[in-house]
Amino acid sequence: MRQHGSGWARQTAALVAFVSVACWATGAAAQAPPAPAPAPAPAPAAATEEKKEEKNTGRISISGGIDFPTAYFFRGIKQETDGYIIQPYGDLTFKLWDGVPAFSNLALTIGTWNSLHGGPTGVDGPNQDPKMWYESDFYTKVGWTMFEDFSAALIYTAYMSPNDFFKTVQELAVSFAFNDSKYLGPFALNPTLLFAFEVKGQADAGAHRGVYMQLGVTPSYTFNAKGTYPITLSAPLLLGLSVSEYYEFGTGNNPTYGYFQGGLGLAVPLAFIPPSLGNWQFKAGVNFVNLGNTLKKVNDNDSFQTIGTFGIAFTY
């Protein structure tokens, strides 16, 4: 993302958390969060009376987790491909207003997303202490639901580097999501749209602040939905575009096409954990990334990446 010295750094997967109010705050990023690989659709909790009784009915909810990806790309921009990568995250959501059917579930979310590296951008590089701590992002978000199926959010994110590998980037974003399961049932696509505006610093370390657009769909299907351990398979697809000077990298060019990402995800609830401790799930996935010409040039002329990930997430 942002270039500092000989490398680039990035902005956060907190943007994948752009649907956090619509998803995580109601029971489940990527982020979750956020991460370079979209998290699979959350597995439904087992349909038991005990689960229903332990459901959080208050106005404060908590979500968090930890991911272990094989590589870290942010919006197609290479961050780290060597050594270990550990990405913990968490947030608090405050339900502000129940509202009316046309405008409901107004909520405020405050969270953090982090990336710890063992490669050149972390422990193995000439970085400041704490050398491992490559990135720490703070985000705050106001989200709401409209007519039950539409949701939107306004998000502020500060992307920071505790080991001083890149300079802080600040961003404002607006996201939209549509839950089309009522109309398409098992063939629901769950489309999302996000616009991000850089207000300080640049993800590509270019000369101008950029505007980024992301289109996504996440079709999914749950097997054994009423069982104790339902398995949810998903096929997340993302298209990242530059609306204005987002992928410059000092080249003077402004390509529209950034990257395309697709893959498969799996999520299974950890039903052996007592419901009083929240809803926990194991998730894993593999994603394939195709990079545009400019991103290819800053990635050692490699236009294709495969990224695997696994992790654990919870909500309460």
Please give the average per-residue pLDDT across 191-195, as a whole number. 98
Residue 54's pLDDT band (boundaries 50, 70, 90)? Answer: low
Q: What is the pLDDT of residue 47?
A: 37
CA 204 to chain centre: 19
Taking 50 as the threshold, does the pLDDT of residue 142 lie above it?
Answer: yes
Taking 60 as the threshold, does the pLDDT of residue 20 lie above it?
Answer: no
Q: What percentage of the chain exceeds 90 in pLDDT?
A: 68
Specify the 3-state DSSP secondary structure of 19. helix
The reported pTM is 0.82
Pairing of strands 150-160, 169-178: antiparallel
* pLDDT tens, residue by residue, 84-112: 999 999 999 999 998 887 788 899 999 99
Residue 165 half-sphere exposure toward CB, CA atoms < 13 A: 35
Query: What CATH number is attached to the domain comprising 231?
Result: 2.40.160.40
Q: How many domains does the chain have?
A: 1
| Element of type H or E holding 61 | strand 60-69
CA torsion, ordered 10, 16, 17, 22, to nearest 10 deg: 160
Enter the DSSP assignment of 208: S
Q: What percentage of the chain exceeds 70 in pLDDT?
A: 82
Distance CA(11)–CA(156), nearest Å, equals 12
Average pLDDT over all residues of the chain: 84
DSSP string, 217-261: E--EEEESTTSSS-EEEE--EEEEEEEESSS-TTSS---SEEEEE
* pLDDT tens, residue by residue, 274-316: 999 999 999 999 999 999 988 998 888 899 999 999 999 999 9
Please give the average per-residue pLDDT across 187-202, as a whole number. 95
Read off the tokens for 77: 């921009």
Residue 56's pLDDT band (boundaries 50, 70, 90)? Answer: low
Distance CA(135)–CA(115), nearest Å, equals 5
Please give the average per-residue pLDDT across 8-27, as a whole number. 35
Read off the tokens for 216: 């996504």
* pLDDT tens, residue by residue, 233-279: 999 999 999 999 999 887 777 889 999 999 999 999 999 999 999 99
- Nearest to 109, CA basis, from 125, 90, 123: 90
CB 71 within 8 A of CB 36: yes
Q: In this structure, how many other beta carbons lie within 10 angstroms of the beta carbon of residue 149?
A: 14
Taking 80 as the threshold, does the pLDDT of residue 39 lie above it?
Answer: no
Distance CA(258)–CA(79), nearest Å, equals 15
How buried is residue 206: exposed, middle or buried, by Cβ count under 10 Å (0-12/13-18/19+)?
A: buried
Q: Name residue, tokens 């991911």.
A: 67
Q: What is the pLDDT of residue 13?
A: 37
Taking 50 as the threshold, does the pLDDT of residue 22 lie above it?
Answer: no
Domain that holds residue 206: 3-315
CB 286 within 8 A of CB 262: no
